[in-house]
Amino acid sequence: MSEIRNSILELIGETPLLALDNLTEGCDGRILAKVEYFNPGFSKKDRVALEIILEAERAGALSRGQTVVELTSGNMGTGLAIVCRQRGYPFVAVMSKGNSEERARMMRAFGAEVVLVEQCPGSEVGQVSGDDLALVEKRASEITTERDAFRADQFHHAGNMLAHYRHTGPELWRQSNETISGFCDFVGSGGSIAGVATYLKEQRADIKCYVVEPENAAVLGGETVTDPRHSIQGGGYAMADLTFLENVTIDGFLKVSDAAAREATRRLAEKEGIFAGFSSGANVAAAMDLLNGPMRGEVIAVLICDSGLKYLSTDLWP
């Protein structure tokens, strides 16, 4: 059988699973990390982009050559830029100026039009709040109407959750030889945790799934926001009503500080050779807390959401 792939889209998914045994040395239990930057756009969102476009094509919601628009912190836009170009749809990415500049450059390289939206007064570059995101949403809606475009809508389109239910979850279960007993995930749209948790709990109902949030904006855990600003790009928007979380059983809520996420991201590079972004560090920091607390002796899976190369302009890598 030929090993030649005929489209970059065939390289999305089936990412490797690595045991973080250097990082957890001395701990009782294991962390298994699914290294999602092996996707063509260097993040887990390539899976979501592909699933949303394929679902829209199946449903007849996308017409030939129709423009696709989406709000993005960079990763979803990169995935859509690749998928849309390959399938013949022009793509407009709408992103906050608070997200790192290299993301916009990458999307443009893949052929996307990138519209950058000013942040709210008081917001800082590198710290995109829910209010900043509301401005991006407003602009994305306007452009969708102006261009009679298809809105990919990662916060609501079922393809987001389905990408992880149909692929990320089953891959994790198979690659771990069905040994996973816990999963924790830093939430943006909630698509990853909803899809993976639903699949894993169907395999074994007692697998524990935890939401990870920034320490000062932990609304899903029922806390009030003391400061919406944080460095963990890609999520933590302090949105209490995420559609994808409505029908999922969450076993607990974990908080991670900027410093803990940064420290864990750096240790991932140093100890394991994994060059990842802030949210991957947040996932690993939370998993370490679980291993040193209620999940001692267990096997916890996490996602390495994207590549550290996307953060070279930030203080993550001094």
User: Which residues are the active-site residues?
Assistant: 45, 279
The two structure tokens encoding residue 146 = 């102006």
Helix, strand and coil percent figures for the chain, each rounded to 5: 40, 15, 45
Q: Are 174 and 32 in contact (CB under 8 A)?
A: no
- Using the rule CB under 6 A, is 133 a contact of ligand PLP? no
Task: Compute how many residues bind ligand PLP; rule: CB under 6 A.
Answer: 18
Judged by CB under 6 A, the residue of 62, 76, 163, 248 near ligand PLP is 76
Which of 27, 317 has the CB closer to ligand PLP?
A: 317
CB-nearer residue toward ligand PLP: 29 or 190: 190
Report, in Å, the least distance between residue 76 CB and ligand PLP: 5
Contact between 308 and ligand PLP by CB under 6 A: the answer reads no
- 29 vs 214, which CB is nearer to ligand PLP? 214
How far apart are CB 179 and ligand PLP at their closest, in Å? 23
Q: Tell me whether strands 17-19 and 30-35 are parallel, antiparallel or unpaired.
A: antiparallel
Q: How many residues does the chain have?
A: 318
What tokens does 185 get?
């995930």
Q: What residues from 274 to 293 belong to the interface with ligand PLP (CB under 6 A)?
A: 277, 279
Closest distance of CB 47 from ligand PLP, Å: 10
Question: Nearest to residue 230, comparing CAs of 214, 254, 219, 218?
Answer: 214
Q: Which of 45, 47, 151, 267 binds ligand PLP (CB under 6 A)?
A: 45
- The residue nearest ligand PLP at its CB is 234
User: Which secondary structure element, helix H or strand E, spans residue 116, and what is its range?
Assistant: strand 113-117
Residue 75 engages ligand PLP in binding (rule: CB under 6 A): yes
Does residue 305 interact with ligand PLP by CB under 6 A?
yes
Residue 212 pairs in a beta bridge with: 186, 254
Distance CA 69, CA 170 (A): 29
Nearer to ligand PLP, 43 or 181 (CB): 43
Confirm if 262 and 293 have CB atoms less than 8 A apart: no
Query: At a CB cut-off of 8 Å and minimum separation 6, what does 255 contact?
Result: 212, 213, 214, 215, 218, 221
**Which residues in this chain contact ligand PLP in the complex, by CB under 6 A?**
43, 45, 73, 75-76, 186-192, 234-235, 277, 279, 305-306
